[in-house]
Amino acid sequence: GDTVLSYNFESKILFKTAILEMVETDHSNLVDLYFSHDTITSTTDHPYFLHRKGWSSFDPNVTVINYKNYDDVKMIEINDDFMIYDGTKVKLLSFLKINRLSKTFTITKLAEENSFFVNGVLVGVEEIPTKHVRYLEKKTLDWELLGRVGKNSKIDWTFGS
């Protein structure tokens, strides 16, 4: 099956893990995040792991409500340090909230752990409470569409393979 690079917070080890569930749905709460190395487009409630803040999003209250695996989420701000796969940090230079309906894909379950890397940046799995799953259409991976998370993306979902 398809794999992503994940991170174990206790052992501080990177490893590949299998994607067990993924959903496709339409969202209009999008945001472009601008970094020196890339641009990532995600929903405003998508969790990112930040240095000195932990799990954070542009809409922390909605993140806590929508996903059962987060109970303390901070607000993302310009100049926050995002964790990247090589153990270093990258600063958020700016962001732009976008109000357009767009098809999105999100990983809702991994074989191990609760995080993975998108364009090198550590993000969280969005575990959707069972009561919400009926509203989403489960989809198999479409790498071409999933790869469009950033305008100049170079995504290495299987790190090193």
Tokens coding 54: 């932990």
23-68 pLDDT per residue, tens: 988 889 999 999 999 999 999 999 999 999 999 999 999 999 989 8
pLDDT band at residue 130 using 50, 70 and 90 as cut-offs: low
One-character DSSP codes across 110-125:
ESS-SEEEETTEEEE-
Tokens coding 110: 């991994």
91-129 pLDDT per residue, tens: 999 999 998 899 988 899 999 999 999 999 999 999 987
Residue 149: the pLDDT is 36
Using alpha carbons, list the distances in angstroms from residue 42 to 30, 35, 116.
6, 14, 14
pLDDT band at residue 156 using 50, 70 and 90 as cut-offs: very low
